[in-house]
Structure 1
């Protein structure tokens, strides 16, 4: 028999639904500046969801996921600007290229474990960045801006292009969230949650740990590539340093997930929201705001290893987005 939901859980889910509705009507409510920030937020949320799936469930702590973001950015430029494929199709192809290149990358990094695997993913990312800097058709080390015909394919005026890029980011974020939720609700997801709670116990009861990690690694790659393509449309250019930025696409992402809550779907959402709020109020402090973010993340970890969502869940006693089939954590 289903247990009655507490008022706090109902209120939390109401806030979650209200947030989704706000995102759906944002182009008719907010100005272009806010739309630009929301586009960046949705892109960052996709990256946080993917890193959380790897680190929080599959125990693959990577510091090189910016590799596939950059691959997606460069692949999108190649398809849209050089091959003159329409941007929506070029975005999808960029995701496929990221998936294709994830196969050899996985063959390399999955020979390593623990901190060596994390370092290996960073080395692979740096290798891809160095290769990108040697591609003269893509602007070499200084990069290149998107040609005007690519931008006009999204809209005749800049305002129209802002809205189109926002819709693309919203569709990607919604797809990443709900498809990951369905994955965690599947038989594979049961194994992933068992790995999250007790890796040795999961292996003992028959969970194929290697297969689960490989699946998660390949699952995240196309989403990262798609996010890189959309980020390129927002920034209007590619370059090795910006498209393969470890700060923007890995370090900040790790902060979002760690402070929000590793091993949950609510954690990356909460952490990404908090990151953008803090960035808004701490940006005037220059590089000091990075140290403040680091100090805050350390403080949260010391208080609750599962992040802010871990603290909130103590009061709720269940998740807002139920992953297990009984609506409670395993």
Structure 2
């Protein structure tokens, strides 16, 4: 906490936020011990939850903090899975292939960013969808993939099911924790302040010396990397790769739903949204088209009546900040008393 004159103070860490970080460490430690103690179904479901958290946090970083609303992130999700299959077929260990595929996808996103980041608003959103469809068509041309027939990550069969399931679980847990930690540190840095300044007013950010394109490119590539990791993890769990599944716009729709419900532009909101989506899918996912209609209706209602999401409502009501990104100005007591009156 930094104290200013006349009783004003600026704070970032609070007692609740320190407790939250400590609690997160405890939860991660407990989750790391889960595979030997839980059944196969529970381990698979938790792995899916970790993937959902990664997807929500990456889309929230791109749109909620960077102002880059994309409806084409399934391009990176599909590429993460595709390159995993390709590298594994070339003889690379499938678990190493998963990580290498994410780096290849991130590398490809760099030249892509030189074109896409020139677009703004709806042009960027639709442009990303067009890129996703183009990449989908190109992947279908690969003879290994056999069009929409797809293929499988058969090299995973070298491991017994229990070992494979535990390894994928731990990889997903480490990836989720690592990406959350990396994004948290980034957003609290000078680059994070620049990212949010660009979101609020790109022209104003340029006028004060922010390197707009370089900063946006950093966030774009990070989001591509994270979503590609999620795609590879999902493939490792399902083992089967079909382009129409991995390049489906439903993945971006899920990301948008999680972030809107949890709270766009809120670090805790994306995590909360992913957990809520996971619970809804677990109990209502078997309802087919009605499940999808329900998700869409819920997202619309939240956009209209709770635009800051669930976490935004909690934060406004209780002034609770568990994982603070920015700063908060605390007023002196006499001003707070006058405000209460």
- In the alignment of these two chains, the number of paired residues is 321
Unaligned runs of at least 5 residues, structure 1: none
User: Which shifted more, 204-213 or 260-269?
Assistant: 204-213
Is 1:124–2:134 an aligned residue pair?
Answer: no
- Name the structure 1 match of 2:315: 313
Question: What CA distance in whole angstroms lies between the structure 2 residues aligned with 1:287 and 1:15?
Answer: 38
Q: 1:214 to 1:327 in 2, by over 3 A?
A: same
Question: What CA distance in whole angstroms lies between the structure 2 residues aligned with 1:197 and 1:306?
Answer: 16
What do residues 107-131 of structure 1 show as CA deviations (whole Å, max 9, x unaligned)? 3322322111100000000000011
Larger gyration radius, structure 1 or structure 2 = 2
Give the superposition deviation at 1:193. 2.9
- Name the structure 1 match of 2:114: 107
Give the superposition deviation at 1:276. 1.0
**Greater relative contact order structure (CA < 8 Å, 6+ sep):** 2
Give the superposition deviation at 1:272. 0.4
Moved over 6 A (4+): none
- Name the structure 2 match of 1:219: 222
- Name the structure 2 match of 1:133: 140
CA contact (8 A) 2:258 2:274 kept: yes
Give the superposition deviation at 1:199. 4.8
- Name the structure 1 match of 2:102: 95
Q: 1:208 to 1:66 in 2, by over 3 A?
A: same
Give the superposition deviation at 1:190. 1.4
Q: 1:196 to 1:239 in 2, by over 3 A?
A: same
Unaligned runs of at least 5 residues, structure 2: 3-10, 331-341
What do residues 199-235 of structure 1 show as CA deviations (whole Å, max 9, x unaligned)? 5554443333333211111122222222211111111
Question: What CA distance in whole angstroms lies between the structure 2 residues aligned with 1:32 and 1:40?
Answer: 13
Is 1:74–2:82 an aligned residue pair?
Answer: yes
What do residues 168-222 of structure 1 show as CA deviations (whole Å, max 9, x unaligned)? 1111111110000111121101112334455555444333333321111112222
- TM-score computed with the length of structure 2 as normaliser: 0.86
